[in-house]
Every structure is written in C-alpha cells, then in structure tokens.
Amino acid sequence: MRESSTYIHKIATVGMLTALAMVMGFIETLIPINLGIPGMKLGLANLIVIIALYLFDIKTAIVVSFLRIVLIAMTFGNVSMMIYSVCGASLSLLCMVIASRFNGFSTIGVSIIGGIMHNVGQIICAAFVVRTNGVFTYLPVLLIAGVVSGMLIGIAAGLVIVRISTHK
C-alpha cells in the first residue's frame, strides 16, 4: 500500500508543477516584450522546471517541462511553437542538469545556462525550419536576453527553493 501512496503523491506533484508551469507560461504571454525578435519571452515556466530539478529529481523536471509544452500546444493549437519549444527545452534541460551537478553553479548560474541554451536550441531549430543561417543574426540579442531572464528566474528559483526547503 505504501508504494501505491508514493506513486499517487508523485503523480499529484507532477500534475501540480505542470499546472504551475502552464500558468506561468500564460502569464508570460500577457507581458509584452518587443525587441524585434519574434517569440521572445521571459521564460517564467522555467522557474517551475528549476524548482522541480532541485527539489525533486531530473525525471520530474523533464516530465514537467515536456508535459507543459505538449499541453500548451494542444490547448492553443500551435504545433510550430511546440517544435521550437521542444528543441529549446531539450538543450536547456540537458545543460541545466549537467550544470546543476557541479558545485560551482548556483540556481542563478544554472538558470542563466538554461536561458542561454534554450535560445540557442530554438535558433538552431529555426535555422533548420526556415533553411537559412540568417536567423543566427538574432543570437547576440537572444544571448543577452537569456542571461538577463536566466538571472531573474534563477534568483526567484533560489528564493522559492530555500523557502520550500525550510518548510519540508
């Protein structure tokens, strides 16, 4: 019976984190960012993914990230957005997992790496989709945006992780 209870708790936790990530993604759509680059966002949903990575495990972070992407694509019907999101999230998660295993990286450092690599993953995807290297001209602005948003999300994640950890 104990194993069943743990499994149910895990499913509920993943569901809650996925719902939070979706809400953060929706809130993000309400914040206009116009720097001349289509689809540029703050990465608020990554806050939840980082929390999952630090407070739970790699598998939970991966499931939450990809469930959010698929559910948002199904809800808002944008398959091309899903392709870009999967590419960005895959590279971002891989690099965040690696960075989180090194003691030299704080949540801020891990988040900055995630923000940068998400943008790199999406630009690489865009280069394949539109079949031109011209999209790489966006990279300098996207790298700066990844650092800034990654830093803000990393600070917030660090605060939330400490707060939740003290209440466990």
Q: Long-range contacts of range 98-104, CB-CB < 8 Å, 24 or more positions apart? A: 100/53, 100/54
Query: Which of the four pLDDT bands, split at 50, 70 and 90, describes residue 35?
Result: low
Q: What's the pLDDT tens digit per position in 97-112? A: 999 998 889 999 999 9
What would the DSSP string read from start to end of the chain?
Answer: -HHHHHHHHHHHHHHHHHHHHHHHHHHHHTS---SS-TT----THHHHHHHHHHHT-HHHHHHHHHHHHHHHHHHHT-HHHHHHHHHHHHHHHHHHHHHHTSTT--HHHHHHHHHHHHHHHHHHHHHHHHT-GGGGGGHHHHHHHHHHHHHHHHHHHHHHHHHHHHT-
pLDDT at 42: 86
CATH code (residue 123): 1.10.1760.20
How many other C-beta atoms lie within 10 A of the C-beta of residue 29?
Answer: 11
Give me the number of domains the chain comprises: 1
Domain carrying residue 73 = 2-166
Look up the pTM and report it.
0.90
Here the tokens at position 149 are: 């948003």
**98-152 pLDDT, tens per residue?**
999 988 899 999 999 999 999 999 999 999 999 999 999 999 999 999 999 999 9
> CA distances (Å), 123 to each of 26, 88, 97, 118, 163, in order?
22, 8, 21, 9, 35
Provide the pLDDT for residue 109: 97
Q: What pLDDT, on a 0 to 100 scale, did the predictor assign at position 73?
A: 87
Interval 48-52 mean pLDDT: 96
- In the predicted model, what is the mean pLDDT of residues 51-60? 94
Quick one: which of 138, 108, 101 has its CA closest to 123?
A: 138
Q: How high is the pLDDT of residue 95?
A: 97
For residues 125, 128, 129, 131, the Cα torsion angle rounded to the nearest 10 degrees is 140
In the prediction, which pLDDT does 31 show? 83
Predicted confidence at residue 66, as pLDDT, reads: 95
Percent of the chain with pLDDT over 90: 72
Q: What is the mean pLDDT of residues 58-72?
A: 94
Predicted local confidence at residue 160, as pLDDT: 95
